[in-house]
A = this chain, B = another copy of it.
């Protein structure tokens, strides 16, 4: 049984609390948050204690921490937790600064403690099944990957300003998906982006619509499309062409009802946003972390994976700004 401290009691922290408490191999023993009241409320709901982060890290009875705090605290908390001997599952992204994330990696490596980054989409049953089919060789060799990832609506501009930008905040998931499916990092990143959904996003220095093309050493190609607005719901699809066929993973729908009238044939929309779509993925992610820690297995997503995606986000940000292709260092 893994005794877990949850750092961060916001929206995503609450999602993880469900998973930690509901898992047969883990128990939620402590919760911290900069807003003490949030921590207390969440802790109370699960019979856990509200404590400070320092307190949680110092407690030898706590085996693991889940870091669900704001991004600017991730690197510090990962380091501190690993040094305190905890296993760590940290939400993405590792950091907004690639350099800081790399320092963090070095610091953590010394501790020998396992650190996992929360790229939840790898655990989505649909994307996981697509990967499994690929690994079984069912479409031969992968050649051309296309990732579509649209949010239902843009976040507030106040959030955009501290987010690190679309490539670091939103497309980072898709960079990791590309790495997950292509099995290696690309060599070159080309990005275009614009703010046509909301000019205020442009005014804040960010884009809301973007396309990134990735090329691989062996000639394979991947393309990622992002938009901050798909009014019909969270649109998360992957399509991979291989030498022997095509794999597509589609959206989960609200329900399977189809209504045929004179106006057309109407089906359910995609589930609304990440909480609806990825709840099973969060549970599977946590299960994978717990199993790896308790069974001494390899982390399914590593700090290096988090850094690889961050490097791609940084390259894409630069490419979108300069209009030039950016080579990734090996």
A interface vs B, CB < 8 Å?
22, 125-126, 129-130, 133, 138-139, 143-144, 146, 148, 150, 188, 190, 192-197, 209-211, 213, 215, 218-221, 223, 225, 227, 229-233, 235, 239, 241, 243-270, 323-325
Contact = CB atoms under 8 A, between A and B. Distances in A.
Contact of A196 (B148, B220, B260): B220
B229 A219 contact: no
Contacts of A231: 243-245, 261-262
Contacts of A22: 22
Contacts of A259: 133, 138-139, 245-248
Contacts of A257: 126, 129-130, 133, 247-250
A326 B215 CA distance: 18
B213 A192 contact: yes
Given A138-B259, A258-B250, A245 B221 contact: no
Given A138-B259, A249-B257, 9 more contacts: A125-B254, A126-B257, A133-B257, A133-B259, A194-B219, A232-B260, A250-B256, A252-B256, A266-B266
B219 A245 contact: no
A139 B254 CA distance: 20
Nearest to A261: B245
B227 A225 contact: no
